Chains A and B, each alone.
Chain A
Amino acid sequence: MQQQVAERAGEVIAASTTEFTAEALELHSAPPFGSFVKVIEPKRPTIYALVSYVETGGLDPTRHAVARSRPPSIVDEEIYVQWPELRDVLRTVFTARVIGHIDARGAVRHWLPPFPASLHFSVFVCTTEEIQWFTRRHDYLAGLIRDPSGTEELTAAAIRTAVAAHSDQPDYLLQAARSVARMLASDYIRLHLILQSIASEELRQ
C-alpha cells in the first residue's frame, strides 16, 4: 500500500494545554469533526488532537455576513464569483481537543503533552497509518470521557474515525465499545448515547 502524506490543514492561532484553534488554509475547508490532527514541532512532542468544533465567520468579528443571493442565477458558489473578496474577509477556524502526544522516545502517550502547541505552527491531518498507530489502544478515550466540556458526540466521532482506519473494523469497533462501556459503567445514559452513535447496522442486528 502506498504511504499517505500528511496533509496540511491549518495554522495554529490559539493554544492551551488541552486544545488549540487553527485557521483553515481555505474557506470552508477545515478537517471534518472528529478527525485526527497533529502539530509537529522541532524538539517538542508531536501533539495529537481531535477536531471538536468548526466555525466560519468574518475575519473581523464586527463584520457580519449578510444574505447576498439573487435567485435564480446568483446563489451558492456563484455568490463567491460575484463577490471574490468574500474569500479574503471570511475564514474558517477549527478547534481541536488534545488527546495525546508522541514523546521523545517515539512512544504514543494517551495523556496531555508537557507543552501546548506553538502559535503559527502547521496543523496536519493524520494519515490512516498514523490513526491506526495512535488508536491501537483506547486509553485516549478516557480523557475525552472524563472531560467535563467533552461531548458524547466527539467521543463517538473519534471512534468512528478510528474504526474507519482499521482493517478489522467489526473487531476493532467491538473492542472500542467494550472499552467505553468499562469507562462509563456508572453512567448508562452517556454510554447509550455513544454506543448508539457508533453501532453499525450489522452490530445492531
Chain B
Amino acid sequence: MCRPVVPGDCRGVPASVDYLEQVSAQEETNGRVMGFDIRTLGSQVDAMVSHLVEQSPRTLERRRQARNAYAQAAGRWQQAARTVEESTMSFVAAVPYEDPSRSYAPRQLPADYLIVATDGSQIEPERHDLALYLLINVGWALLRYGSHAVAQLGSEPTLRFRDEELEYHVNGRRIPIREELLATLRSLFERKKLADLLLTLDGTHPALGLVDGSLLDLTLSNRRQELPPTLIQELLSHFDRVRDGGCLLASYISCPASREVANFARWALCSDLPKMACRDCSSQRLRGVPDCHPLDSQIDTALLPALPPYHRSALFSPLQRLQERYGQHRISCFYLNAGPELARIEVPLWVAQDPDRLALTHSIIADQCRRGGYRGARPGYPPALIEAHEQAVVTIQDRQVLEMLLERRSAQQGLVLQRSAKAISKHMKAV
C-alpha cells in the first residue's frame, strides 16, 4: 500500500532550538513565514515532550508487567490458547500454534528462488477535477535469484469512469467507491496481478507472492453491507490460483501495531478465568480497573521474546470473526526480526500448516530482508516490495499528465471540460 503524496512534507526539518531561533529571527526580519506558525507550534511540541517524559516511567512499569504476563501465558501456552479460543473476551486475540517463548531460525535457502511482489496506489474520484474518474495503478516486481538472476518491473494503470465502475450496487443502494472501499478494490487488483504473474512461472523453482499490508482486509468485515457479496469470493479466488499453481503467499507489515498477541497475554492477568467475560469483569467491578489493564495499549512487538536476526516468533492464529469467511485461506501470522524492526508476516492456512512451505516462506522473506539492508550491515525492507512500490506510486506530476491528456483529447473531440472554481484557484496560486 503506497502512502499518498503529502504536499509540503517537512521531514528533514531539524526541530532544534537553534532552528526555532533561526526561524523566529527570520520572521522578525521578513515578517511571518508562510506555512506553520512555528513559534506557536514550538510551545505545543514542548508540552508534548513534557507529557512523554512524565509518562515514561509509568509506561515502562506497565510494559514490564505486560511482559511478565506474556511470559506466563507463553509458559502454559496450550492451556492458555484453549481458554482464550473458548472465551467470550471482548478483545481480538491471536493464539499460538507452537511454543511462543522461543524463536525459530530460518532454513537454508534453495540456490534459486523467485519472488513476485505487487503494490498499488489510487487516485480517488474528485468532484473538483475535469471529470469524475478513479485510477488504480498496480506496480509489480518479479525478481529471480540464483543461477539466472534477473528482474522484471512494471505497472498497470486502470481508469474507471462509467457510473457502474465508480459505484457498487448493493441491495438496491448505490455506494460510491471511495476511501476504504477503493482500497479494497485496489487490493483485489493487486492480488489478481500477483496471481497472474506467479502463474506465468514454469514452477521449476520455489516462488513466493508477497504483498504489502495485511492479507486480512478488515473492510470486508467493517463495511460488509456496502460491498458486493461476491467481492470476497473474487479476492479469495486469486489465493486459490496461487495455491493451485504451487506457489507460496505471504504479506509483509512493517512497523506493525497489532495487539492480538498482547491480548492473548490477558489470560495471565484475567480475574475471570475461564470465561474471560470482559462485559462482566469482576476486577473492574471490585477495584474500578481490570486486572489486565497493563496490557492496554501494548503492541505485540513490545512483548515478544528477543529474536536473533532473521529468526521468527511462533506462529499465531488471529481470532477475528472475518477469518471464518476466509475458509481455507484463514490467516496466520508470525513476527520476524528484520533488523531495524520486527515485521509482521501473514500467511494463509495452507502455508501455515505445511512445515516446508512455512519454512521456505520464512527463509525467502528473511533473505529479502538481508538484501534490503542499508550498506549491507543490517537486515532491512524487502527489495521486491520496494520496487513494486516504486512502480505503483502515482506522483502529483503523473496526475497532472493524466489531467492534461484528458483535457487535450476531449478538446480534440470538441468537448470542453471544466474544473471547479476552487480547483482553478488552487491551480493559479495567484497572490
Q: Smallest CB–CB gap between B114 and chain A, Å?
A: 11
* A residues in contact with B390, CB < 8 Å: 60, 63, 89
B19 at the A/B interface (Cβ < 8 Å)?
Answer: no
In the bound complex, do residue A70 and residue B153 qualify as a contact, i.e. CB atoms below 8 Å apart?
no
With A82-B371, A83-B371, A84-B150 already in contact, 17 other A-B pairs whose C-beta atoms are closer than 8 Å: A60-B390, A66-B374, A67-B376, A68-B376, A80-B149, A81-B149, A82-B149, A84-B143, A84-B149, A84-B151, A85-B141, A85-B151, A85-B153, A85-B383, A89-B153, A89-B387, A89-B390
Which chain A residues numbered 53 to 70 have a C-beta less than 8 Å away from chain B? 60, 63, 66-70
Give the number of chain A interface residues (Cβ < 8 Å): 18
Distance A83 CA – B152 CA, assembled complex (angstroms): 12
In the bound complex, do residue A84 and residue B153 qualify as a contact, i.e. CB atoms below 8 Å apart?
no
Contact A88 B153, CB 8 Å, known A66-B375, A67-B375: yes
Q: Smallest CB–CB gap between B381 and chain A, Å?
A: 13
* A residues in contact with B161, CB < 8 Å: none
A-B residue pairs in contact (CB < 8 Å), sample of 26? A60-B390, A63-B390, A66-B374, A66-B375, A67-B376, A68-B376, A70-B376, A74-B376, A80-B149, A81-B149, A82-B145, A83-B371, A83-B383, A84-B143, A84-B145, A84-B151, A85-B141, A85-B143, A85-B151, A85-B153, A85-B387, A86-B151, A88-B153, A88-B387, A89-B153, A89-B387
* A residues in contact with B151, CB < 8 Å: 84-88
B62 at the A/B interface (Cβ < 8 Å)?
Answer: no
Q: Smallest CB–CB gap between B366 and chain A, Å?
A: 15
A-B contact count (CB 8 A): 39
B357 at the A/B interface (Cβ < 8 Å)?
Answer: no
Which chain B residues numbered 146 to 172 have a C-beta less than 8 Å away from chain A? 149-153
Which chain A residues numbered 7 to 62 have a C-beta less than 8 Å away from chain B? 60
A-side residues, CB < 8 A to B, are 60, 63, 66-70, 74, 80-89
* B residues in contact with A82, CB < 8 Å: 145, 149, 371
Give the number of chain B interface residues (Cβ < 8 Å): 16
- Considering only CB atoms, which chain A residue lies closest to B375 in the complex? A67
Contact A69 B153, CB 8 Å, known A83-B371, A84-B143, A84-B144: no
* A residues in contact with B150, CB < 8 Å: 84
* A residues in contact with B153, CB < 8 Å: 85, 88-89
Q: Mark B385-428, 1 if CB is under 8 A from A, else 0.
A: 00100100000000000000000000000000000000000000
Distance A92 CA – B141 CA, assembled complex (angstroms): 21
* A residues in contact with B144, CB < 8 Å: 84
- Considering only CB atoms, which chain A residue lies closest to B390 in the complex? A60
Distance A70 CA – B149 CA, assembled complex (angstroms): 18
Distance A87 CA – B152 CA, assembled complex (angstroms): 10
* B residues in contact with A74, CB < 8 Å: 376
Q: Smallest CB–CB gap between B210 and chain A, Å?
A: 14
* B residues in contact with A60, CB < 8 Å: 390
* A residues in contact with B141, CB < 8 Å: 85
Distance A68 CA – B376 CA, assembled complex (angstroms): 5
Distance A189 CA – B103 CA, assembled complex (angstroms): 71
Distance A80 CA – B383 CA, assembled complex (angstroms): 13
Q: Smallest CB–CB gap between A60 and chain B, Å?
A: 7
* B residues in contact with A89, CB < 8 Å: 153, 387, 390
